Structure 1
Amino acid sequence: MLKKKKIQVNKDGTRRGLSNVAVQMIAFGGSIGTGLFLGAGSTIHRTGPSILLVYLIIGGFFFLMMRAIGEMMYSDPDQHTFVSFIRKYVGSRLGKFAEWSYWLELILVANAELIALSTYVKFWFPHISAGLVQLGFWAVLTGVNIAMVSSFGHSETFLSGIKIFAIIALILVGIYLVFTHHQNPAGTHASWGNLTNNFTMFPNGFHQFIMAFPMVFFAFQGMEFVGITTAETKDPKHVLPKAVNQIIFRILLFYIGSLLVIMAITPWRSLNPSQSPFVQIFTLAGLPAASQVINVVVIAAAMSTLNSSIFSTGRHLYQLALESHAKPMKPFTKVSTNGIPIVAVLFSAACMLFAPIISAFNTLSAAFTFIASVSSDIYILVCILTMVAHYKYRRSIDFQNDGFKMPGYKWSNPLTIAFFIAIFVSLFFSHESLLPAIGAIIWAIAFNLLLKRDNDNGLSVKTL
């Protein structure tokens, strides 16, 4: 009889119950979601086959950021969130800005996923209460997160597995259609030549090509969840480098592979940008229930993102509480007997219950959309600060020369920072993203001015 391996318990009571597979699935859960299954048609419509280059470039820079996060987490695997390094190496004020902004951004993402889930369920049950659906999903996934860390890992593996299965199915079906030279209803044929026929780098202009970058950038958002699992991962010194090095290539494989197949099956200009390209391709393949199947997949995708958000916000708030000396933050340091930061998880999950209220009022829905867009833009600022923290870590006494080092950091780190800044600047050149980008700047300035005022009044940032 095999002896069950004992789960390591950290000094703070949390447990290292996540395997390498679970950690990678968490990253998949965060970064492969409805943006691919529903929104890929819109990005293809902007640039055509050139979108593959956009994904490759952004994927490369996200890999560099993940290596930077991985290096810092490897040096201190007891940290519950990678954002804590910003406070440690950049400064208390900017650290607090990044920590609270990132936590808020994840809360808003979770609320958005809850709203989306009720929309997907209404595809089958149009008369069901949106609030009831949202409460149901929220209760189930919150229950999973307060059980055991391994329960979360198993659930995320299952949900991410559904998404991966759908992408593999699309790729295999697509390859079959190409090799059989499948004729579409419009009279076109599936062929690799659809990628190169009448190819132009900027079919809708250079501006549309540039504006595709922030859209694709946000599609990769969530990959950094790996940097929130380390403190509860089995053998992190072994798992972390493996997970970081493998995840980017697998995500690129799934993104690039699915986009290649989609544009090979039918000329990209014939795709409807407002409809899921997955539904369109499976319909062309003769699957009458394509929309039904993809609806199941997007429900799994939204559940996966919500599941990861509950986990991440709980750990994030727990880390904030550990670093704070304020009395109101003390309850959030409580860890349950099964190793879960229970109060931090439950409070963060409770903040996601704004979704039913938002769904009930159209004016609130419009306001929420704007606030969520502002928060997403702030995410870019957090990425920039993360890279600055890594650069300063490399020049600190904490640097481990034999650690899991970011390759060529002297050029790769500044280059990544410059790229992220360029992504943020590009937001100001589109009327759709201009106001949220301004909102992100206002939030950053106001938050830091508030902290400065408190410091001038004799309050330490560390107590907040």
Structure 2
Amino acid sequence: MERGLTNRHVQVMAIAGTIGTGLFLGAGRSISLTGPSIILIYMITGAFMFLMMRAVGEMLYQDPEQHTFINFITRHLGKGWGYFSVWSYWLSVVFIGMAEITAISHYVQFWFPSWPSWLIQIVFLTILALVNLIAVKLFGEVEFWFAMVKIVAILAMIATGVFMVLTGFETPYGAASLANISNQFSLFPNGVMNFVMAFQMVFFAYLMIEFIGVTTSETKNPRQVLPKAVKEIPLRIVFFYGGALLAIMSIIPWRELASSDSPFVTVFELAGIKWAAALINFVVLTSAASALNSTLYSTGRHLYQIAHDSPNRFLKAIKADTLSRHNVPQNAIIASAILIALAAFINVLPGVSDAFALITASSSGVYIAIYILIMVAHLKYRKSQDFMADGYLMPQYRLLNPLTILFFIFVFATLFLQESTFMGAVGSAIWILVFGIYSQWKFRK
């Protein structure tokens, strides 16, 4: 494939890749669960996601020709788990794409409520599919500017918070001050269970962080770009998540935050920006479009990989294993886009849409299983002949790799603790068990 992404593209995408839409819309709910200690949860979760990226980064550094980290599962855990992972991951990302395209229609209808959602979804999907089909460089450029919108919005939030705190800015909630965070601080203000359940919300804000590693394979110098993109993840997490949350809770006492409202909108309105709601709607629209753009990029390459490694009659018929004259997996991208497009029609069918919601929720748990498998693959890699002793090594892997696996298991377990995620957790457990057994049986020796 074409190595059309530049260091500029990857570094900005790496920053934005750690910032989920959930920060803009879901921060109020996560803060309401556990107060200022939500910052600690973001830091803990971010640390483990960074460790996972160090494991992925180490293997990608050793073999930068890989366009998907799933190949390492196949290589080190066998074809059965590789087959399970590549299909599960591809479907999970497709469902994420479906969720994002649904969200896009809602954001557009904020301004144009009479526009049919299915039409909005098809138009956005078509445009972004074309972006992915034309050239990798164009994808990188579009993603760069999508990313910049998120970054600028958070920088504006942090700057607003700093200004208000330094000037003692008066709001209807009182003066902006760090005392709003420290006064009567408690690690578990709403109980241990709410603290624990907040982990799953925060975890999914980081979803698709592994995309950073995938994009580096299509740069001209992946071994130079990859370490820089990965090693700066902790700094980005502390600055963007920590900075934004500190700013929000310094301006508005956390107990006053409405869990259903975006704190970004509230803060910018307090700062005198009357069109704050429209501004944040634009930010989340570009964020969702960015996520959809990335899912098309990712699903296309993973389906292309499936067509190479586990071809079937259908994939052969659509020639999913071929590249276009622009050196992109054109047919695989188109096939993935068509499947994502089904969301436009599924959402208008009541019975089907309920099932779709369950499947989408289930894919979240499957995602965690794949993260666990990649960590296990890394352990196997360290003992294999592929191991590159002078590569980009994960520090203290004997301790930190198993700890990361345990953390992912913990997050998966928390899905069973909340009514809204329970059925999805059950669905993902069934998929992992049934499809996992089938995959092992299919490639039994």
TM-score (norm 1): 0.93
- Cα separation, 1, equivalents of 2:80 and 2:440: 8
Other-structure match for 1:10: none
1:236-269 CA-partner distances (Å, limit 9, x unpaired):
0111111111234213311110000000001001
Other-structure match for 1:436: 424
**Corresponding position: 1:332 with 2:339:** no
Q: Is the 8 A contact 2:79 2:443 kept in 1?
A: no
- Cα separation, 1, equivalents of 2:231 and 2:403: 19
Q: Is the 8 A contact 1:29 1:305 kept in 2?
A: no
- Residue 142 of structure 2 aligns to which amino acid in structure 1? S
* Shift, 1:359, TM fit: 2.4
Q: Is the 8 A contact 2:81 2:440 kept in 1?
A: no
- Residue 96 of structure 1 aligns to which amino acid in structure 2? Y
| 390, 394, 399: which one aligns with 2:378 | 390
Q: How many residues align?
A: 443
Alignment of structure 1 residues 192-271 onto 2, 5 Å: 192-271=178-257
> Runs of 5+ in structure 2 lacking a partner?
none
1:248-305 CA-partner distances (Å, limit 9, x unpaired):
4213311110000000001001111101110011111111110011111111100010
Using a 3 Å threshold, how does the CA distance of structure 1 residues 26 and 312 change in structure 2: closer, same or farther?
farther
| 314, 332, 335: which one aligns with 2:300 | 314
- Cα separation, 1, equivalents of 2:53 and 2:292: 21
* Shift, 1:308, TM fit: 0.6
* Shift, 1:455, TM fit: 5.0
Other-structure match for 1:9: none
**Corresponding position: 1:58 with 2:45:** yes
| 84, 105, 112: which one aligns with 1:97 | 84
- Cα separation, 2, equivalents of 1:292 and 1:206: 36
| 352, 355, 360: which one aligns with 2:348 | 360
- Cα separation, 1, equivalents of 2:296 and 2:252: 39
Q: Is the 8 A contact 1:33 1:302 kept in 2?
A: no
1:409-447 CA-partner distances (Å, limit 9, x unpaired):
111111111111111122222222222111111001111
Other-structure match for 1:76: 63
- Residue 22 of structure 1 aligns to which amino acid in structure 2? H
Q: Is the 8 A contact 2:32 2:259 kept in 1?
A: yes
**Corresponding position: 1:403 with 2:376:** no
TM-score (norm 2): 0.97
* Shift, 1:323, TM fit: 1.4
* Shift, 1:56, TM fit: 0.8
* Shift, 1:408, TM fit: 0.8
- Cα separation, 2, equivalents of 1:142 and 1:454: 33
1:147-189 CA-partner distances (Å, limit 9, x unpaired):
1100000000000100100100111111111111111124x11
- Residue 415 of structure 2 aligns to which amino acid in structure 1? L
Q: Is the 8 A contact 1:24 1:247 kept in 2?
A: no
| 404, 413, 416: which one aligns with 1:425 | 413
SS across alignment from 1:360: coil
Using a 3 Å threshold, how does the CA distance of structure 1 residues 287 and 208 change in structure 2: closer, same or farther?
same
Q: Runs of at least 4 residues of structure 1 off by over 6 A?
A: none
- Residue 192 of structure 1 aligns to which amino acid in structure 2? L
- Cα separation, 1, equivalents of 2:437 and 2:143: 39
SS across alignment from 2:342: helix
Using a 3 Å threshold, how does the CA distance of structure 1 residues 63 and 25 change in structure 2: closer, same or farther?
same
SS across alignment from 1:16: coil
Q: Is the 8 A contact 1:72 1:390 kept in 2?
A: yes
* Shift, 1:25, TM fit: 3.1
Using a 3 Å threshold, how does the CA distance of structure 1 residues 261 and 144 change in structure 2: closer, same or farther?
same
* Shift, 1:324, TM fit: 2.3
* Shift, 1:217, TM fit: 0.7
- Cα separation, 2, equivalents of 1:57 and 1:452: 34
- Residue 262 of structure 1 aligns to which amino acid in structure 2? I
Question: Percent identity of the aligned residues?
Answer: 48
Q: Is the 8 A contact 2:80 2:443 kept in 1?
A: no
- Residue 23 of structure 2 aligns to which amino acid in structure 1? L
Q: Is the 8 A contact 1:27 1:224 kept in 2?
A: no
SS across alignment from 2:110: coil
Other-structure match for 2:258: 272
* Shift, 1:449, TM fit: 3.0
Q: Is the 8 A contact 2:24 2:262 kept in 1?
A: yes
Other-structure match for 1:11: none
SS across alignment from 1:333: coil
Q: Is the 8 A contact 1:79 1:319 kept in 2?
A: no
| 283, 286, 292: which one aligns with 1:297 | 283
* Shift, 1:453, TM fit: 4.9
> Runs of 5+ in structure 1 lacking a partner?
1-13
- Cα separation, 1, equivalents of 2:88 and 2:327: 26
Using a 3 Å threshold, how does the CA distance of structure 1 residues 336 and 443 change in structure 2: closer, same or farther?
same
- Cα separation, 2, equivalents of 1:436 and 1:66: 26
Q: Is the 8 A contact 1:26 1:308 kept in 2?
A: no
State the superposition RMSD in angstroms: 1.4
* Shift, 1:96, TM fit: 1.1
